[in-house]
Structure 1
Amino acid sequence: MTFRVTLQPADRQFNVARDEPILAAAIRQGIGMPYGCRDGACGSCKSRLIEGRVLHGAHQAKALSAAEEDAGLILPCCATPQTDCIVEARSVPGAGDFPILKMPSRVISIERAAPDVAVLTLQLPANQSFQYHAGQYIEFLLRDGARRSYSMANAPGRLNDPPAIELHLRHMPGGLFTDHVFGAMKAKEILRIEGPFGSFYLREESRKPIVLLASGTGFAPIKAIVERMQDLGLTRPTALYWGCRSKIDLYQQAWAEQAAASLPSLRYVPVLSEPRREDDWRGRTGFVHEAVMADLPDLSGHQVYACGAPVMVDAAQRDFVSRCGLPADEFYADAFTSELDKH
């Protein structure tokens, strides 16, 4: 049995199987909807149910509270329709542009960029044309059916030959996947991946100045976006703020400095929340999103792209909109939700 879902205001229609989440059906049929984690943890896909009835699967209260659900909001990533539905959601032009592929990948290298950060380079099959927007992510398909999501850190124009993607992984001690990456993983190991996913990528048609905001390994998709801007020759004024705990966590500081030197329109500001004495740090300190507000108190004409820990992304969204005049629909985010965050 299938139900008909109509997306407003785009007036797009698609079929959804009875036990299928609305978002999964949209992705399967190339319909662009906003989303991040795909499993009820981040709230990026939150939409309004105009007509019809849905049943929600397990999700976090911070992604959708009981009060929001009572007010008619839904999470399409874990909402299955029980009737035909009309859903109000921002359509995301380009989100369904590229086919989602399942494919093997081969580990080319594992570089320990910081004590708890690995830069993983994966070779893709030469016979499959893997396309994505800078900022999107892939998922590893693990043996027990679990999945782990990581953003591409290189722009799609920089896959090289043979094609390879770069991923930045933080070690989560006790984590099923990252314990393996930081322990037994060797070059030439084969990993199964699927992608691209996500609606986090640069809106290239805009002319607005840009704030790129990253914490920790949330730097990965931001790096891909900067490379994309370099490849397109974009000159939109851009400020890149990267927040980490201490100096050692700025694991690609030299790359960021070089990018700012090569792009006259790009300004780079690293911010440390807990600099150590041995860091001899003379740069900015504190919360990274507060450094943005100190420099740019008026964000009414900007676009913001934020990626990193959910607490940083949530605080930035709240404060930029309420205190700096950022239009709510010009805040684009990818909150990195670990398995720990989902429980």
Structure 2
Amino acid sequence: MTHQIRIAGTDVSFACEPTDTVLDAALKAGIEMPYSCRKGVCGNCAARVEEGEFELGVVSAEATPPGQQLLCQCRPRSDLSIAPASWRRAEPGARQRLRLKVYRNTLAAPDVSLLQLRLPAGKRARFRAGQYLQVQLPDGEQRSYSMANPPHESDGVQLHVRHVAGGRFSALAPGLQPGDTLDVELPFGQVEIDPASDRPLLCVCGGTGFAPVKSLLDHLLRQKSTRPVTLVWGARDRSGLYLLEHVQKWARGLPDWRFVPALENEADAQALQGHHGRVDTAVRAVADDLQGAEVYCCGAPAMVSAVRAQCAALGLPPERFHADIFVVG
């Protein structure tokens, strides 16, 4: 039986099949709400369910705020009234299926490929900083990767691909040659930072979680943002900070800038005048109080959970913690 999902306080509603999640039904109906991983891990799609009955799939307790539910795992068993953090109608035709051509494939670190892909002539990729695309594999499965380039560089996309043991696409990426093609769909994700905000911004990332942070900070640089920005980038050793030269670009262009490399290798941390340890302990080292800040965190689930807990302990309101979680699958 099809159920109706109403957005509380509005006259907006949409249909949801019992087999669909509320988030999937909203996206099908052209209603955009905050989300990222769609696997019950990141917590971005959390919302209050004010009326009705539902059942939940697998969710992360750490990512679920008190009194809220993760809409990516919520399936209705009656009509529902929900109160998402925000919503808007999708721009018609915003999502595109494209065949992209490999323009350049370079090894940025021993285990990271930088793929530069070009769009067909006359096409442009429309996306917001922090969004991602899905690459279609030959057997029809899909893998998600963030666009590392900012939205104004719209004639192509840059992907940062870590070589993961057993990874389907990461096993293919090192062998891609100029002229090879990939079928993709974009954009996905609603993790975005208000470019007009003047709140101090703390970006925390691990490994190739740097990719969406790069897009975001390049966009802020383009907008001539004057807000205070701190970047904490974590890796095992110096080789994991595979685009340090790009960080210098932000140091020159953002007027209130701080960069803290967080490295497990003590000698490398000392050489870069960074933090020896994990990124969550680096957050504690760089900030005494986050009540007035905004945080964007991108990386593996355990890392994001640890950073989320650290930020909460430092007074950050939960609605100002934006997470983009890399879920291997």
**Which string of whole-angstrom CA distances, capped at 9 and with x for unpartnered residues, describes residues 62-91 of structure 1?**
5778xx9xx875332233323211122211
Structure 2: how far apart are the matches of 1:93 and 1:316?
29
For the Cα contact (< 8 Å) 2:43–2:323, is it kept in 1? no
Q: Distance in 1 between matches of 2:219 and 2:21?
A: 32
Residue equivalent to 2:42: 42
TM-score normalised by length of structure 2 = 0.91
Shift in CA distance, 235/94, structure 1 to aligned 2, threshold 3 Å:
farther
Change (3 A) 1:242 1:93: farther
Relative to structure 2, which stretch is displaced further, 190-199 or 73-82?
73-82
For residues 100-155 of structure 1, what are the alpha-carbon distances to aligned partners after superposition, in whole Å with 9 as ceiling and x for unaligned?
A: 21221111111110011111111123344421110110111223232111111111
Task: Name the Cα RMSD after superposition.
Answer: 2.5
CA distance in 2, matches of 1:280, 1:210: 26
Judged with a 3 Å threshold, the aligned counterparts in structure 2 of structure 1 residues 72 and 241 are, in CA distance, closer, same or farther, namely closer
- The answer to whether 1:25 aligns with 2:20 is no
- Looking at structure 2, the residues matched to 202 and 42 of structure 1 have their Cα atoms a distance apart, in angstroms, of 16
1:135 paired residue among 120, 127, 130: 130
Which among 317, 323, 327 is matched to residue 327 of structure 1? Answer: 317
Contact 2:201 2:227 in 1 (8 A): yes
TM-score, with structure 1 as normaliser: 0.87
1:165, 1:282 → 2: CA distance? 32
Contact 1:64 1:74 in 2 (8 A): no
Q: Distance in 2 between matches of 1:278 and 1:227?
A: 25
Q: CA deviation at 1:299?
A: 0.8
Distance across 1 between alignment mates of 2:143 and 2:284: 33
Who is 1:80 aligned against?
Answer: 75
1:269 aligns with 2:260: yes
The amino acid across from 2:255 in the alignment is: P
Alpha-carbon deviations, 1:17-75, whole Å to 9, x = none? 34322111212333221211123343332333222223445x3555778xx9xx87533
Identity %: 36
Corresponding residue for residue 101 of structure 1: 96
Q: Which among 111, 119, 127 is matched to residue 124 of structure 1?
A: 119
CA distance in 2, matches of 1:172, 1:134: 25
Q: Which amino acid aligns with 2:254?
A: L
Contact 2:299–2:324 under 8 Å retained in 1 = yes
Give 1:111's aligned amino acid.
T
Between 266-275 and 111-120, report the one with greater CA deviation.
266-275
Q: Does 1:172 align with 2:159?
A: no
Bigger shift: residues 229-238 or 272-281: 272-281
1:128, 1:17 → 2: CA distance? Answer: 35
State whether residues 48 and 72 of structure 1, in contact with CA within 8 Å, keep that contact through their aligned partners in structure 2. yes
Which residue does 1:153 correspond to in 2?
Answer: 148
Q: Deviations over 1:199-252 (max 9, x none)?
A: 112212322111111111000010111110111111011111111110011000
Partner AA of 1:107 in structure 2: V
Say if 1:43 and 1:202 are closer, same or farther in 2 by CA, change over 3 A.
closer
- 2:307 pairs with 1:316: yes
Question: For 1:281 and 1:271, how far apart are their aligned partners in 2?
Answer: 9
Contact 1:98 1:196 survives alignment (8 Å): no
1:289 aligns with 2:280: yes
Aligned match of 1:258 in 249, 258, 269? Answer: 249
The aligned counterpart of 1:220 is 211
For the 8 Å contact 1:307–1:334, the answer to whether it is kept is yes
